[in-house]
């Protein structure tokens, strides 16, 4: 339906919407290209061939029984073991080729996702001014024509949004698969007997799922380093420092840069391997067992970020007691965790992670640290909620002064309950 010429603003809007239809078509084509994801028959045949070779080589035949006579029998034993070693090497090589083929497929999928991301971002940048134009059309002298066009545009935008939601799920799965591939490749590179390799590979593959979850929701390595940099100066002159649940090793890297001796302990096998690849001193094991194995007064500092909420109450109490025992006089304990006193942090951060054991109110963790024997215990709030998320206060003169005062006081109470800082740290001195 043509827009009447006596309404120049609507005529301009019609031309803009025609341009947006073309932009929509380009974005939709990019989404459809990614959604179809054509199968590479050649790659599939290669994977099937490698799988057949692995199946034919595994399990390896039994080698000769241990023991035997000395001297000449040792030579015969080595000759008998040669086929076993050769078959194991062939199996490892075939498995590596299979993983390489799988990784190439993953890289191709990621490239497609980047193409889609660029198209969607470009389209979103064009959508914002059109939304402003829609609002202007609603107050124009002939709004019906513009409304018809905008409703058609909104229907197409909803369809595009549905496709993007499906691709977000695909991105999450690709993140998990990528971590699994890296975990298996790292396990195969270990110089260990085949049964130990198998156990290590299985453990790293299982842990890689949580590693992918942290990559998706906790933040990038750069973001974590930026958040944890505030704690480095607290440990100056307190070597050695132990990072409990060190994860990917961001805080250990910060301490190394600052010249502070430190080591980490981590239960996630995939994270331990990643830290060791960076040259960090990290051991795999239980956090409490590690602390209890340290000599009394042997540590200058204990640090744990986003760990306390993963521990059941008995384990948390044991960790605090073991930290107090292992720290020398003047030593420092820093425990950072999710602020359960913030409704936003509880609903958007805490309950998202299935491995969280129990929320910890700041006063609860402060009390437990004091009960463990720490003399100086304080709480610092971190990660404040942006002002544009918090409830706004009424400006002076908006309402009669008594009403403005009551409404603003209520808004501040709600802000303190709903939008308190997302994290806090208990800082305790031995």
pLDDT digits (tens, 9 = 90+) for 206-255: 555 555 555 555 678 899 999 999 999 999 999 999 999 999 999 999 99
Average pLDDT, whole number, for the chain?
79
User: Residues for the chain: how many in total?
Assistant: 430
Confidence at 90, pLDDT banded by 50, 70, 90: confident
Query: Cα separation of 263 and 241, whole Å?
Result: 7
Give yes or no for a contact between 291 and 324, defined as CB atoms under 8 angstroms apart.
no
Confidence at 131, pLDDT banded by 50, 70, 90: low
3 pLDDT more than 50: no
**What's the pLDDT tens digit per position in 29-64?**
776 666 565 555 566 667 667 767 776 765 555 555
Confidence at 28, pLDDT banded by 50, 70, 90: confident
Q: Would you kindly state where each structural domain of the chain is located, as residue ranges?
A: 8-217, 221-429
Average pLDDT over residues 17-31: 76
The residue with greater pLDDT, 269 or 231, is 231
Helices within 278-400 (DSSP H only): 287-292, 313-326, 343-348, 362-371
421 pLDDT more than 50: yes
DSSP string spanning 94-129?
HHHHHHHHHHHHHHHHHHHHHHHHHHHHHHHHHHHH
Average pLDDT over residues 167-184: 61
- Residue 216 has a pLDDT of 54
- Residue 261 has a pLDDT of 97
Confidence at 142, pLDDT banded by 50, 70, 90: very low
Query: Cα separation of 87 and 227, whole Å?
Result: 49
Percent of the chain at pLDDT exceeding 70: 65
Which stretch of 275-284, 297-306, 316-325, 391-400 has the lowest confidence by average pLDDT?
A: 391-400
Query: Cα separation of 120 and 3, whole Å?
Result: 30
CATH of 221-429, one of 3.30.9.100, 3.40.50.150, 1.20.1250.20, 3.30.70.141: 3.40.50.150
- The Cα angle at residue 205 between residues 204 and 211, in degrees rounded to 5: 80
202 pLDDT more than 90: no
422 pLDDT more than 90: yes
Q: For 141, how many CA atoms within 13 A lie in the half-sphere containing its CB?
A: 8
Average pLDDT over residues 301-319: 96
Confidence at 429, pLDDT banded by 50, 70, 90: very high
**What's the pLDDT tens digit per position in 113-129?**
777 767 766 766 666 66
- Residue 218 has a pLDDT of 65
The residue with greater pLDDT, 273 or 75, is 273
Of the candidates 346, 341, 257, 249, which has an alpha carbon nearest to the alpha carbon of residue 303? Answer: 249
**What's the pLDDT tens digit per position in 58-82?**
555 555 555 556 666 766 766 777 7
Average pLDDT over residues 88-102: 75
- Residue 420 has a pLDDT of 94
| Residue 114, CA distances (Å) to 33, 124, 160, 179, 391 in order | 12, 15, 17, 18, 36
**What's the pLDDT tens digit per position in 364-377?**
999 999 999 998 99
Percent of the chain at pLDDT exceeding 90: 40
Confidence at 4, pLDDT banded by 50, 70, 90: very low
**What's the pLDDT tens digit per position in 333-358?**
999 999 999 999 998 888 888 888 99
The set of residues, in sequence order, having a beta carbon less than 8 Å from that of 143 and lying 6+ positions away, is 137
């Amino acid at each position: 339906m043509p827009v009447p010429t006596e309404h120049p603003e609507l005529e301009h809007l019609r031309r803009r919407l025609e341009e947006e239809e073309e932009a929509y078509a380009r974005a939709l084509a990019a989404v459809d290209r990614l959604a179809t994801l054509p199968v590479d028959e050649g790659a599939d045949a290669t994977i099937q061939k490698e799988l057949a070779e692995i199946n034919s080589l595994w399990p390896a035949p039994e080698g000769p029984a241990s023991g035997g006579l000395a001297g000449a029998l040792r030579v015969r034993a080595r000759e008998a073991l040669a086929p076993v070693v050769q078959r194991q090497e062939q199996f490892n090589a075939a498995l590596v080729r299979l993983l390489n083929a799988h990784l190439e497929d993953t890289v191709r999928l990621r490239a497609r996702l980047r193409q889609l991301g660029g198209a969607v971002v470009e389209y979103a940048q064009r959508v914002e001014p059109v939304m402003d134009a829609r609002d202007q059309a609603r107050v124009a002298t002939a709004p019906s024509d513009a409304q018809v066009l905008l409703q058609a545009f909104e229907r197409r935008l909803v369809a595009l949004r549905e496709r993007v939601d499906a691709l977000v799920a695909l991105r999450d799965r690709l993140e998990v698969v990528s971590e699994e591939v890296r975990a298996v490749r790292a396990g195969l590179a270990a110089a260990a007997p085949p049964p130990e390799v198998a156990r290590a590979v299985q453990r790293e593959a299982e842990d890689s799922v949580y590693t992918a979850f942290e990559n998706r929701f906790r933040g990038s390595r750069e973001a974590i380093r930026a958040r944890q940099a505030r704690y480095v100066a607290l440990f100056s002159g307190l070597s050695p420092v132990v990072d409990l649940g060190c994860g990917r090793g961001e805080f250990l890297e910060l301490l190394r840069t600052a010249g502070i001796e430190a080591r980490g302990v981590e239960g996630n096998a995939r994270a331990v391997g990643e830290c060791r690849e960076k040259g960090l001193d990290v051991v795999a094991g239980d956090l409490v067992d590690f602390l209890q194995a340290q000599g009394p007064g042997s540590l200058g500092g204990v640090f744990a970020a986003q760990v306390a909420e993963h521990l059941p109450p008995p384990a948390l109490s044991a960790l605090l007691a073991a930290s107090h025992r292992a720290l020398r006089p003047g030593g420092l304990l820093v425990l950072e965790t999710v602020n359960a006193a913030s409704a936003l942090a509880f609903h958007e951060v805490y309950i998202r992670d299935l491995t969280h054991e129990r929320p910890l109110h700041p006063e609860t963790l402060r009390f437990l640290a004091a009960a463990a024997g720490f003399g100086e215990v304080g709480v610092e709030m971190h990660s404040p909620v942006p002002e544009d998320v918090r409830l706004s206060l009424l400006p002076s003169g908006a309402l009669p002064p008594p009403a403005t005062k009551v409404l603003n006081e209520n808004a501040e109470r709600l802000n303190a309950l709903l939008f308190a800082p997302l994290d806090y740290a208990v800082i305790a001195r031995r």
